[in-house]
Amino acid sequence: MTSGMPLPEEELDRLIDALNAGRTPPAPSTAEAADHEVLVRALKGLGESSTLDTAPVPAQVGRRTRRSRRRPLFWAAAAAVAAGVLLGVQALVPGLGDRNWVLAMEQAVAQLTSYHGVLEVQTTNAEGEAWLTRRLEIWSDGDRYAVRDQNGVLTVNNGTQRWQVRPEEREVAVLPLIPDPRSFDLHDEADRARGYPHEVEGRETVAGREAVRLRITPPGGQPYHLWLDAESGLPLRLQTAMQNALQTTYTFVTFEANAAVDPDLFELAVPDGFTLIEEDPGQLVTTPEEAEQIAGFAPPLPDEAPARILARDGRIVLDYGDTYIEVEPDDGDFEPEPYGALGRAAGGPLEVLGDELRWVQDGLLIRVAGGESVELARQLAPDLELPDRGDDLISAAQIPVRGLNREALEASQQQVDAGSSPWLLDPVYVAHVFVNLLVSPEGITGEGEIPFEALTLAASSGAQAVVEVSEGPAARVYLARLVRQDETGIWTVVGYDPREGQ
């Protein structure tokens, strides 16, 4: 069993093997290794298979690939419609009304302590074409689970560690506990399905068994379908609603409730001839003090305690389930993304992009992502000010820009929508062009007289923005998203303040 920093030749060899196998390579251990990784990726681009003319095909076709870890999209799709793949160990009494099916399932899940089954997961697009197909063997025992895919790769989470056994590469990789993108969990889904309106739509044959089809409608969500074995009440199939042009169908082709699961499955062991790789997993710790000892800094703590805390050198993650807080020392490089919105937190800029917030506080770069991000962020930074799309940032402009042509702006927006001139989505870039045109109205040659570094995004509500300029005829440039007011809208200069003395 070996671990720790690999030799450079070995690290490169492993990198090449991973990319050739269609896998994510291990994180580079040095800057030189990072450069090697870029060059290998770039060289692979010279090969015949580097450009794909078609969308991804199911794993069974073409070069051997390993299925990616299930991603939040599938989790979100399943969770949003509360995929209730429940197990009914009690036989259902014939003739019961709709409500008793879910009640029986709820009771059955409460009794469920473990299970073992083979799950076929197929994702199709809106045209009905198979986009991804996987076959997974699943063992679940309390909070522990193990999944083996059709390529033999085994992923295990025993609650304190997560690892992956890769037979073809003859290696065992210890992975970070968070994020852990499982497709669905029976107990979690049972909690969500409780109380949702549902109706029996009919009977049909699924996986060779007679099944009852239920239509379940979560409040505020799209309806989805669940098929139960008509004899045992066991769930046979779940089909999510079509979301983001994808629909996923989960079918248990075999299922054994309360199966005896070999406890050795959840013990990390490296088979003979295999190499152990630690892909920077971090450790689960029980107290913030332990996290501080490992990470080398004290984490800021919200009022609400996390469900779990993970730490490694230079990084701490507070896990709240669907939201997490990630903290690392600030390297001084934090700059909010220009296509996001700007707020304020801890006396400095706050970047808001969807449900992710980032800011620097007490020398730490904090990132909060998930459904409760704002609430948790406020607990860390009480002075948090979210951007307000209604904020008026532009009426202060001393010199308004006149003659804005609505048709021309809409044409530009359409061009950007089609993929041209993406720089129109960056308010700093748009302001850069504007100030250089003030200097050279006949047209800009090269990069222009006023360098890009002279401009700074000073404020952004997401709909209006102010850019400060340190040289040239304009001291401040005011911009607005006139055609569309979200992250996909182009920016237009609507006014500026001349520099005093010019």
Partner 1 sequence: MPNAEPSPAPNAAADAYRRHWGAIYRFIYGRVQNREEAEDLTQEVCARVLGRQGAAAPTPAYLRAAALNLIRDRWRRRRSAGVLTPLEEAWLVPDDDAEPGRRLLDRMWLAGLLERLPDDQRQVLELRVVQGLSRAETAARMGRSEASVRGLQYRGIQTLRAMVVAELGTTVVRKEAERT
Window 235 to 254, contacts with partner 1 (CB under 8 A)? 242-246
38 binds partner 1 per the rule CB under 8 A = yes
Tokens of 36: 């090697």
Quick one: residue 394, left, alpha or beta (phi over 0 = left, psi -120 to 50 = alpha)? alpha
496 binds partner 1 per the rule CB under 8 A = no
SS3 sequence of 330-377: CCCCCCCCCCCEEEEECCEEEEEECCEEEEEECCEEEEEEECCHHHHH
CB of 113 to partner 1, least distance (A): 32
50 binds partner 1 per the rule CB under 8 A = yes
416 binds partner 1 per the rule CB under 8 A = yes
Map the footprint of partner 1 across residues 114-153, applying CB under 8 A: 125-126, 132
Nearest to 225 by CA among 257, 256, 193: 193
Q: Which is nearer to partner 1, 47 or 501 (CB)?
A: 47
Q: Which residues pair with 465 in a beta bridge?
A: 460, 479
Identify the residue among 60, 113, 420, 470 touching partner 1 (CB under 8 A).
Answer: 420
Site stretch for partner 1 (CB under 8 A), options 93-101, 297-305, 372-380, 420-428? 420-428
Site stretch for partner 1 (CB under 8 A), options 45-53, 140-148, 227-235, 466-474? 45-53
Q: H/E element holding 78?
A: helix 72-80
CB of 417 to partner 1, least distance (A): 4
In angstroms, rounded to a whole number, what is the distance separating the alpha carbons of residues 146 and 404?
A: 60
Q: Provide the residue count of the chain.
A: 502
398 binds partner 1 per the rule CB under 8 A = no
Give 385's DSSP letter. B
Is-contact 137 256, C-beta < 8 A?
Answer: no
Site stretch for partner 1 (CB under 8 A), options 27-35, 97-105, 156-164, 226-234? 27-35
Site stretch for partner 1 (CB under 8 A), options 26-34, 182-190, 192-200, 375-383? 26-34
CB of 150 to partner 1, least distance (A): 14
478 binds partner 1 per the rule CB under 8 A = no
Map the footprint of partner 1 across residues 348-367, applying CB under 8 A: 353-356
262 binds partner 1 per the rule CB under 8 A = no
Q: How many residues bind partner 1 (CB under 8 A)?
A: 97
Map the footprint of partner 1 across residues 452-471, applying CB under 8 A: 463
Contacts for 420 with CB less than 8 Å, ≥ 6 apart: none
Nearest to 175 by CA among 39, 311, 103, 280: 280
CA-to-CA separations, 231 to 117, 207, 258, 500, in angstroms, rounded? 18, 14, 18, 84
Q: Which is nearer to partner 1, 148 or 315 (CB)?
A: 315
Map the footprint of partner 1 across residues 324-343, applying CB under 8 A: 328, 331, 333, 337, 339
Identify the residue among 31, 61, 93, 260 touching partner 1 (CB under 8 A).
Answer: 31
Nearest to 498 by CA among 479, 477, 473: 473
CB of 54 to partner 1, least distance (A): 8
Identify the residue among 466, 469, 482, 493 touching partner 1 (CB under 8 A).
Answer: 482
Identify the residue among 305, 404, 411, 439 touching partner 1 (CB under 8 A).
Answer: 404
CB of 184 to partner 1, least distance (A): 16
CA atoms within 13 A on the CB side of 180: 29
Site stretch for partner 1 (CB under 8 A), options 5-13, 92-100, 102-110, 303-311? 5-13
In angstroms, rounded to a whole number, what is the distance separating the alpha carbons of residues 417 and 421?
A: 9
Nearest to 257 by CA among 354, 115, 160, 419: 115
Map the footprint of partner 1 across residues 152-211, applying CB under 8 A: none
51 binds partner 1 per the rule CB under 8 A = yes
Is-contact 163 173, C-beta < 8 A?
Answer: yes
Q: H/E element holding 434?
A: helix 427-439
Map the footprint of partner 1 across residues 429-448, applying CB under 8 A: 429, 446-447
Q: Which is nearer to partner 1, 213 or 315 (CB)?
A: 315
